[in-house]
Amino acid sequence: DAKTTQPPSMDCAEGRAANLPCNHSTISGNEYVYWYRQIHSQGPQYIIHGLKNNETNEMASLIITEDRKSSTLILPHATLRDTAVYYCIVRVAFNNAGNMLTFGGGTRLMVKP
Amino acid sequence: DTAVSQTPKYLVTQMGNDKSIKCEQNLGHDTMYWYKQDSKKFLKIMFSYNNKELIINETVPNRFSPKSPDKAHLNLHINSLELGDSAVYFCASSQEGRVYGYTFGSGTRLTVV
């Protein structure tokens, strides 16, 4: 699986857009970009994923650069409840190694009033 | 109905004891996992299991063993507990290992004294 690099922490004002970057310069053609988040004391929660095109769902938007070497998760109107650790994961959709999902250090997003 | 449920939520026990954590999923997923999150907050995969095979992270001591009585359950047994086993343990499930479809339980905080 490709390695990802995320800033360890970020702040965002409530109501503003939170833009969380992720670098994955060694991504392979068949690897997707996935985002999960972990709110304090809870299990991780899936947010969104994409391969090449930008994606949007009810939680967030995912912008992937044309060369696919980096991406940005956008929370359009951050709320206090979005305070969490956000994990960017690059992986093939399926693999034979038990399909295990590996988490890095993530970005700790603090949304402030 | 909780999709992935773990019991107990908290577990305090003495060194040397043997304990189990139960996990049940009602999503019809075919693959289940156990993760450990230590005090530094890193999430580490321990096991991946479906009805075909068990994949073990090589760093997991053999004091830890998963037991699956049926497709909906994957319990974690820990023998001869040590202080370093104190952590939060998360169970998760997915269908065919699809990365976007991981659903996590709310975690079990194990404290070994």
* Tens of pLDDT, residues B46-84: 988 887 688 878 789 999 999 998 889 999 999 999 999
pLDDT of residue A99: 62
Mark the ranges of chain A whose per-residue pLDDT is less than 70.
1-2, 94-99
The secondary structure of residue B41, as a DSSP letter, is -
Backbone phi and psi for residue A83, each to the nearest 5 degrees, phi listed first: -60, 120
pLDDT of residue B77: 97
Whether the bond into B66 is cis, omega within 30 of 0: no
Closest partner CB to B31 (pick from A32, A41, A99): A99
- To the nearest whole angstrom, how far is the Cα of B28 from the nearest Cα of chain A? 17
3-state secondary structure of B100: helix
Q: Chain A contacts of B97, Cβ < 8 Å? A: 94-95, 98-100
Asked if A60 and A31 count as a contact pair (C-beta separation under 8 A), the reply is no
Q: What are B58-63's contacts with CB under 8 Å, separation 24+?
A: none
